[in-house]
Amino acid sequence: MNATDTLSSLSNVDRRTFGDDESTRMQALSEARALVARLEKPWESVDRMVWSQPTLMLTVKTASDMGIFAALTSSPQNSEQLGNATGADPILVSRLLRMLAVGFVIQEVDVDTYIASEFSNALGDGQGIVNGIHHFYDVGVQQMAALPAYLQKTGYRNPTDTAHPPFEDIMGMSSYWDWFEANPKAHAHFNTFLSSIRVGQPPWPSYYPLSQLLEAYDGAGALCVDVGGGKGRDLKHMADAIGDQHRECVLVLQDLPSVIKAAEKESLPSQIQLIAHNFFDVQPCKGARAYFLHSILHDWPDVEACKILTQLKQAGRPGYSKIVLLEAVMPERVKDVKPRMAALDINMMAHFSALERTEKQWRRLLDSVGLRWVKFWELKGSSQGVIEVEM
């Protein structure tokens, strides 16, 4: 195959090529990123990192604030029309549209003429993924600017002190969550972004067989206690999965009082009981079949994670109770690590002095409190899944 044929074959590849095969699509995406790295010269890589990507980010943020994405449709429009629709200077609009088209956010159909794309339509939803852009400008910009100096100042020591994480030095408050409480608009961006990226993700019972819990359930305690479970999304998925056949099973939702107050307004199945609880305190639900934690431990370094797990171990019944962790497992080989996972690990460090753990690190953490890793039930095409733990 000559170079022309190669380019032609590549131009015909898109998501539809892989149908429902998410695992292969993700492999292809990884190969595409590797291809860019092989094709770029070093100065081109720096140019992309320093100029193109940051500029595209600020352009998307500005276009969102202006209402450009909401104004774009499948009908071609030029910069003057979009300027009129948004009340902005058409010359400024034309410059922003050019950057958006170069970044494959919108589609150019003629000179100074554009239509919406699937991506720009998604960005036009104010309750959707665009909140990730707003969240980055709320928190990420400051962190990215200040973190190198922070690490230099601390002698390049790996942060592990949750009382004084990098976030405190950068943002002026030691608690990421306290900062959000003081900045409700930023908190709304964060929560809405998380909700938007979970839309379409399969519920956890679709890749973790609940028969693992139901078969030996004796009814003496709760079937599942969702520790730090927010407004009950994961427990609702569990209730839906077990169906009418097991409606007598007690499910318990735990979180801080303010979160439980919000959860009371949700339409949750009747077998879900709500309890205000701090997971560092003594666990009040004794002898549950399972204690479920969704992305809790990646917010904490090992010392604090051990304290959380210890409370669950002391509440559970040895040989009966399980701990079910919905978490990511960082691959040992870099070739298997998705960029988002590596970036999330750095963010956990900056926010909480915490980390994303490899299987070895998870096993070591569990062993340290006398728990046993049983199996990782991985969601296909993802590094996330369910870690089943026995007491």
Q: Each residue of 7-17: pLDDT tens digit? A: 888 888 999 99
pLDDT for the residue numbered 201: 84
**Would you say 69 and 121 are in contact if contact means Cβ atoms under 8 Å apart?**
yes
Residue with tokens 């359930």: 217
- Candidate from 102-116, 190-204, 343-357 with smallest mean pLDDT: 190-204
- Do 140 and 82 reside in the same domain of the chain? no
- Residue 184 sits at the vertex; the CA angle it makes with 183 and 190, to the nearest 5 degrees, is 95
pLDDT for the residue numbered 41: 97
Rounded mean pLDDT, 34-51? 95
- Candidate from 68-72, 76-80, 225-229, 267-271 with smallest mean pLDDT: 267-271
pLDDT for the residue numbered 380: 79
- Do 228 and 329 reside in the same domain of the chain? yes
* Separation between Cα atoms, residue 122 and residue 188, nearest integer Å: 18
Model confidence at 136: pLDDT above 80? yes
pLDDT for the residue numbered 73: 97
Rounded mean pLDDT, 121-145? 94
- Do 167 and 20 reside in the same domain of the chain? no
What length is written for the chain? 391
* Separation between Cα atoms, residue 184 and residue 245, nearest integer Å: 41
Compute CA 349 distance to the chain's CA centroid, rounded to the nearest angstrom. 15
Closest by alpha carbon to 273, among 259, 288, 245, 254? 254
- Check if 298 is active-site: yes
Residue 1 to residues 6, 102, 206, Cα–Cα distance (Å) = 6, 29, 42
Model confidence at 200: pLDDT above 80? no
- Do 209 and 80 reside in the same domain of the chain? no
Rounded mean pLDDT, 145-173? 93
Question: Taking all residues of the chain, what is their mean pLDDT, rounded to a whole number?
Answer: 94
Cross-sheet strand order for the sheet of 113-115: 77-78, 113-115, 107-110
- Candidate from 19-33, 289-303, 344-358, 360-374 with smallest mean pLDDT: 19-33
Domain boundary among 123, 158, 186: 123
**Beta strands of 51-106 (E only): which ranges?**
77-78
Model confidence at 198: pLDDT above 90? no
3-state secondary structure 124-141: CCCCCCHHHHHHHHHHHH
pLDDT band at 20 (very low <50, low <70, confident <90, very high): confident
Instruction: Please tell me which residue in 134, 277, 294, 298 is annotated as part of the active site.
Output: 298
- Do 72 and 183 reside in the same domain of the chain? no
Model confidence at 308: pLDDT above 80? yes
pLDDT for the residue numbered 6: 79
Model confidence at 285: pLDDT above 90? yes
Pairing of strands 372-378, 384-390: antiparallel
**Phi, psi (degrees; rounded to nearest 5) at 70:** -70, -30
Number of Cβ within 10 Å of residue 324's Cβ equals 27
- Do 153 and 71 reside in the same domain of the chain? no
H helical segments located in 48-174: 53-66, 68-71, 79-86, 90-102, 118-123, 130-135, 141-153, 166-171
Domain boundary among 123, 145, 178: 123
- Do 152 and 101 reside in the same domain of the chain? no
**Would you say 379 and 387 are in contact if contact means Cβ atoms under 8 Å apart?**
no
Domain boundary among 198, 217, 246: 198
Residue 228 to residues 123, 275, 304, 366, Cα–Cα distance (Å) = 30, 10, 15, 19
Q: What residues pair up with 325 in beta bridges, in sequence order?
A: 293, 387
Question: 117 vs 196, which has greater pLDDT?
Answer: 117
Model confidence at 381: pLDDT above 80? no
Model confidence at 101: pLDDT above 90? yes
Domains in the chain: how many in total? Answer: 3
**Would you say 325 and 389 are in contact if contact means Cβ atoms under 8 Å apart?**
yes
Residue 333 to residues 12, 229, 358, 375, Cα–Cα distance (Å) = 31, 31, 10, 19
Model confidence at 131: pLDDT above 80? yes
Model confidence at 383: pLDDT above 90? no
pLDDT band at 81 (very low <50, low <70, confident <90, very high): very high
CATH number at residue 226: 3.40.50.150
The SS3 assignment for 315 reads helix
- Do 42 and 73 reside in the same domain of the chain? yes
Pairing of strands 251-255, 224-227: parallel
pLDDT for the residue numbered 376: 96
- Do 348 and 384 reside in the same domain of the chain? yes
pLDDT band at 56 (very low <50, low <70, confident <90, very high): very high
Rounded mean pLDDT, 63-74? 97
Number of Cβ within 10 Å of residue 87's Cβ equals 8
**Would you say 390 and 372 are in contact if contact means Cβ atoms under 8 Å apart?**
yes
- Do 269 and 337 reside in the same domain of the chain? yes
**Would you say 373 and 183 are in contact if contact means Cβ atoms under 8 Å apart?**
no
- Do 184 and 216 reside in the same domain of the chain? no
pLDDT for the residue numbered 128: 93
Residue 43, amino acid: W
Rounded mean pLDDT, 319-342? 95
pLDDT band at 157 (very low <50, low <70, confident <90, very high): very high
Instruction: Please name the helix (run of DSSP H) or strand (run of DSSP E) that holds residue 365, with its range, or none.
Output: helix 359-368
Pairing of strands 290-294, 251-255: unpaired
What is the extent of the structural domain holding 194? 130-198
- Do 116 and 162 reside in the same domain of the chain? no
Rounded mean pLDDT, 279-295? 97
Rounded mean pLDDT, 315-320? 96
104 in the Ramachandran plot: left (φ > 0), alpha (ψ -120 to 50) or beta? left
CATH number at residue 44: 1.10.10.10
Percent of the chain's residues with pLDDT above 90: 81
Tokens of 339: 């960029």
